[in-house]
Amino acid sequence: MATLTLPIRELEQSVRNEAEKAQAETECVAMHSSAPRADFGTVCKVAARTLALKWLLSSLVRTQEKLISAYVKQDFTQCSDDTLRETAASLDRIVEKERAILNRANMLGAEIRVWWNASLVKLAEQVEHLDSIAESLHLECDDEASSLLAIAVEQFAMR
């Protein structure tokens, strides 16, 4: 399991780095697209940043897909509560950063978003998946929640 943990941490860091770059580019596109005048220079800047962001978002989606796949394959039954908490906190930070990217991107006009639409849709799905994984890890660390869940499953099975 230790051999799998290192690549997952590297993937997490890679996703975090790519998300930071995408967030910076999204902020830049938003800033330039809200310029009071759409002169030729501004249009060129928006176009260049839009294309760069298209590449960044698709790269982020691919890297995040690998991360999700690694987490789905991971056996968390052997992990300590501290490791689970640390992993959940790391995923929470990724989810928070990517939701900020999605919120900012969705504030832009459809004329700009059309360039990244496929990546934005996939990214939104992946963010929800990562959030679900993080929530599951948080619940696993919470003894009270685990007990309540066990009782609920037991009552459901009795029906």
Looking up residue 28, the CATH number of its domain turns out to be 1.20.1050
- The pLDDT > 70 percentage for the chain reads 92
Residues spanned by the domain of 114: 2-158
DSSP states of 86-97: HHHHHHHHHHHH
Quick check: 75 pLDDT over 80?
Answer: yes
Quick check: 156 pLDDT over 60?
Answer: yes
More confident residue, 100 or 108: 100
Quick check: 135 pLDDT over 50?
Answer: yes
- In 3D, which of 57, 76, 71 has the Cα closest to residue 129? 71
Query: Looking up tokens 């994984």, which residue turns up?
Result: 133
Total domain count for the chain? 1
Quick check: 88 pLDDT over 50?
Answer: yes
Question: What is the pLDDT confidence band of residue 2, given thresholds at 50, 70 and 90?
Answer: very low
Query: Can you say whether the dihedral through the CA atoms of 70, 72, 75, 81 is positive or negative?
Result: positive
Mean pLDDT on 11-28: 92
* Least confident stretch, 33-37, 62-66, 128-132: 33-37
What is the structure's pLDDT at 145? 65
Mean pLDDT on 109-123: 86
Side chain identity, residue 45: K
For residues 87 and 1, what is the distance between their CA atoms, to the nearest angstrom?
14
What is the structure's pLDDT at 82? 87
